[in-house]
Structure 1
Amino acid sequence: MQKILIRFNVQIHFVLFLTILNICSFVVHGQFTVPIDQKESALTQKALQGRLPDSVRVELVWNLGKYQMLNKPGKYKINLDSAMLYFKYSLKLVDSLKMKANFRYECMCRIGEVYFLRKEIRSGKSIYMRVIREYQRLGDKKREARTWFRLGIKLKNGEPLDPEIPYYLQKTITMYNELKQWKEVGDVMMEKGIYNKENIGNIAGNLDSAEYQLSQALKLYRRAGYKDHNLSLTFYNLSVIYRNKGKLDQSLANSIASIRSANSIGDTTTLGIVPYYGQLGLIYTDLGLYKKSAENYRKAIALSLRNRDVGIAMDITYNYLNELVRSLISAGKTKEAVVMSNSIMKVYPPADPLQYGIAAEIRGRCYEALMQYREAERSFLSMIHFYRKSGSLETLGYKVLSSFYLKQKKYALARQALKDQYNYLPINTMAFSTLIDDELSYFKIDSAEGKLNSAINHYKRYKTLSDSAFNITKSNQLARLSTQYEIEKKENDIIILKKDAQLEREKTAKAYFTRNLTLVAIAALIFFFILLYKSYLANRRKAAALSMLVKEKDQFLEQKEWLMKEVHHRVKNNLQIVMGLLQSQSAYIKNKEALRAIRNSENRMHSVALIHQKLYQSDSPGFINMPEYIDELINYLRDSFDLGNRIHFKKDIKFDNLNVNQALPLGLIINEAITNAIKYAFAGKVFGSVVVSFLPIEYGLYCLIVKDDGPGLPSGLDPLNIKSMGMNLMKGLSKQIGGKLSIEDAQGTSVCVKFKIEHLTDNSSNG
């Protein structure tokens, strides 16, 4: 109790401390740093001044959590822990103020999001499923659908290869279709398309399905008259797909549409628009229009450097700096490429393996253009090393290395590098221009090595692909799109200049206002510190008064916990004494049936004794770690029946801690099922295997299965009607936990118990 009070007190003061820091930031810079946008900034100011209700107080704490979770560079564990602290505090605040249930569920979802970012996937799913079940109970279809969607998106961010993501997204689409919310259906279709695009080669999806889903999202947005960030993002992802498929006319049209859409809603300065300009630069590079590509790369770099999220911005900056250097060198501006890259990397040196790899690639390109080939090769090999260390871009690195070796007429090394690039990425994910270059490279290598038939085949494929791309570049539509975009861009530049002039005038007026406001803010801060200090002294007196009571309570709790462990220890010892007596008695019994009954009793007692042993060894009273318990029970039975390696046991346990009220009956059922398999399925020293699985099958419903690959049940035998102690015991124990027992004959004998879990996790595991 004392620890909880102290933690609660620390949380309150920490929140107040950050609030003071934000007021200071407002005084110095004229804006708050915690909120994500201007709307949240205004709400936070009013909350600090006490003009809004309790819901806004919760929103303020949410903003602090979001700042730690999203705005801090790198998302380090300490930042995520801080975010978790704020969100759990907001949950306590909601409960103490007895606010609407929706506030509580939103707090829970934010806690789940932090779990996903911390890679604690099971905990994150559990939180979201609890919220979904509550909305199902309330019949709130809209919020249920939104929570399914959030679960899929947050899980995609935390564990993109999780096989349940497509199910969550499709579930959302079905519900939104039933609700006829077309804009929301478009949002989910867009995310599903992006998911398929990003996971190509890892899942059973492809670019065609991603193209279809994004096109459907675009139709739904137009149907709903929707114009927002997601519309721009849909155009952008369609452009990426069309470029990878070699449809440069459609890629260019969608790339221009993404920028036009972003400009129409004023989204021209955020980090999100940077890839739009970068994508347009890549298309112009494929078309050989290096001047236009360099112009767009410069725009992307300038916008990324302007962003406050330094970690993400610098990854993007290095990527497009690499492309800018390539365009400048291709345009014969090597000196400008060297000066540009050196100036940026000097101010923003590489900070991680990915950035070191890109920096090495940039240096290699510059050395190669300057004909310093030894330094270029050293840089390119360093590039491969860092790309491999970062776990990304290694495929493109081998492509660069192959091109370098080909120019140096090192054909064997060039061929090996070309081959290596496909070890890390499937061919159907390569950009169209990359495939054209690869076919031409193979043609040159085969020609140089005298492999004429192979060279001719590669040249034919090269001509087929390049002719297609060439025809696209010659089309009137392409020229018309490019010209129209240039006109719009100049008009937008004029509008931006006018806005900049207006902003300068407003900034001057704001400076005078800030100066006057500073004096008032300083006086308010002094008053605030006095109140805070008085609150600190009052809390300190209360803490001292409660300290003795809490200390006595902690002592009583420790004594109770010790006594409970002692009881379990003694019960376990008593059971072992009884087992020892039975073992001694069995030495004098000649009747096989009696001896078998005694042996079965020993095994049953051991399964119960093992439960009590786990209880007095556990730090979570009342809960049993099922994987450890089942493993020790199997080892005991293997030794008891002297199986050696005759029977192979396999385990598939997807559950950790289980309430002892259910763990004890399940342990006895496992004991009976394995014992029957040993005695009847593998009698006569027959070799075989037994599989023990404990898996979820529905929400809150689990299944325990013990299956052997023996001869199976005799024909016509109904095992549930067998009158034996073991069968009666399994049926009685199944009813005791509210479960259903079934025994089936399927390439062996399968014993299955389906039941509902009383408590998913113990309190200690929830932290």
Structure 2
Amino acid sequence: MRRYLRKLFLFGFFTIFYSSICGAQIFDSNKENPYNKVFIDTDNFGDSYLDILEVALPKLKTDSIKFSVLNDLAYYWHTRNLNKALSFAIRGLKITKQKKDTLWHGKFQITQGAILLRMEKLDSAFFVLQEAKRKVRKQDLPKLYTELGYVFERRGLIGKAADYALEALKLGEDLQDKRAIAMAYSDLSNLFWKQSKFDKGLEYGLRSVALFEEVGMNDLDYDFTLYLVGNNYLALKRQEEALKYYNHAIAIGERYGFYNNLSDIYISLTDLNAYLNKFEQAALAGENAIKYANLLDNNFMLMRSWLSLGNAQNLEGKYLSAIKSLQNSIRIATVDFGDNYYLSQAYNSLGRAHAGNHDYQEAYAAFAQYDLLQSKVFTAEADERISQLQTEFEVAQKENTIKLQETEIKKQKLRETLIIVISVMLFIVLTLIYYAYQNIRKKRILLQQQNKEKEFLLKEIHHRVKNNLEIVSSLLALQSAQITDKKTVDVMLHCQNRVHTMSLIHQKLYQRNNLSKVEMKDYFINLSQHVLDSFGNDNRISLKVDMEALEVDIDMAIPLGLITNELLTNAMKYAFPNNKVGEISINLSKSNNNEYTLNFKDNGIGFVGTEVSKGTGFGTQLINLLVSQLGGFIEKHNENGASISIQFCFDKIA
């Protein structure tokens, strides 16, 4: 008992797991229309597909999606179980009637008609389809006419069925609906086959297959068309081609569970194997045909399955078995069965079986029934209508070809005219582009010359400014040599260094190609060396400029240079008393958000006194003024000497 429960649990778990995976493929909540329709949006039509739709149905909120799922349940269940399919169709009809949705009510009636047709309720199917005709849109009519054509085909009215096939074809062409056209070709293939016009049947069947494959539809109707092509090949005694199409159709039918098509195909395989004297394989195919007909609960398929098995037994010489099989076939075909074509075939085969069994009286009676039914099916009117249809269609095809050729000629002339016009316009445009290019080229050359001249002038200006500042510095040096007061000499030295600080910037500018930016690392090194030399401390004080190469605008470089000059001067004067050996480091860095930080540090005696944030001399005032100009702030620390950090943002500079 425990083992049984464990197996039941595992089976349920894997069923839910597999269903959840498949369900995710069928319903996609990320799409505006979450339902992936089978054979259009997804190929996931396995054994669980219909179960997943049935489970999801109560959870659907949008009416249009709910109706679409319910209609698919009805339509695709009719390939497996007709009664269940009909129950879904009736359910859809009730809901759409309550919702007063006439369009969807008509669509459900088309599906109901297809199901009733396969349940041999031909009159009911015809009535329902006629009702649907005035409710649905034009694009739904090809499907409706196809089903109406099946009704008349089953009644043995081949000519009337052909009319509906032609109407569906015209609609498909008007709508440019390749699938509808493929379905019409498939119907014509079936009708020509029933009229024993196998070459034409094969022609239209192959056209249908090509169109189905062009639009990528591997659905129920494509599968049925493969079977029809196989039938026409078989009738033309081209067994290998027939077998190829039958096997392809079986692969699709078994993959998707199309029991009606599988029963059809195995019926034809029974005939094919019997014709090739492969009677064991014929018997096996006949049993498969009966099996799928029973699964579908379809008397039409079941009658034809017994018929094909009886035909095979006739060829094998098993007349008693054939009589039994054929009597089963005829018994299933009730009075209101409707399809005189297959019923006539059953009586013909039964007559041959009785004759083979030397029961000539029974054979005569069966052949009499065959003749009666044949006269109803193959009437002169039907044959004339098929011939007329063939002529009309061929004429229509030729007319279409002529129209297409005329349209193509007009398009060709239009293309030639457009090519000429475009060529003339292109020539004019290219000419204009050429002259515009020449003008732009001349302007570019002129601008390059002007730029070179301006660049030269700017360099000359920077050079002259630098020379003038050096003259000022030299004058200050000469003047300081005449002064004996030490304080005044110090002041003159500070002024001289400040002038040199600005002079050095202009020197850097005219020495580089970029006339608007100064590379600060090299500048700090040259500036620091000059200050050290001016105080005579180049051997006692070591300098470290620890930073990456960094270019800044001249508007930033001048105040930074003056600040650094003042900091170096203060360090020379106060940081290393009594000829103490020391080290100074300078660093300028830039962050991603355009913020700059200037770090100045020495390992001298540090700041002395309580007012570490304010200076008392001109140098300190100048530093504060320049930092304010940069829109920044100063932080001072005593950490193994004096440490000064200045932070500012270049965007804030006035």
**Structure 1 length normalisation: TM-score?**
0.41
Look at both structures and tell me which one has the larger radius of gyration over its CA atoms.
2
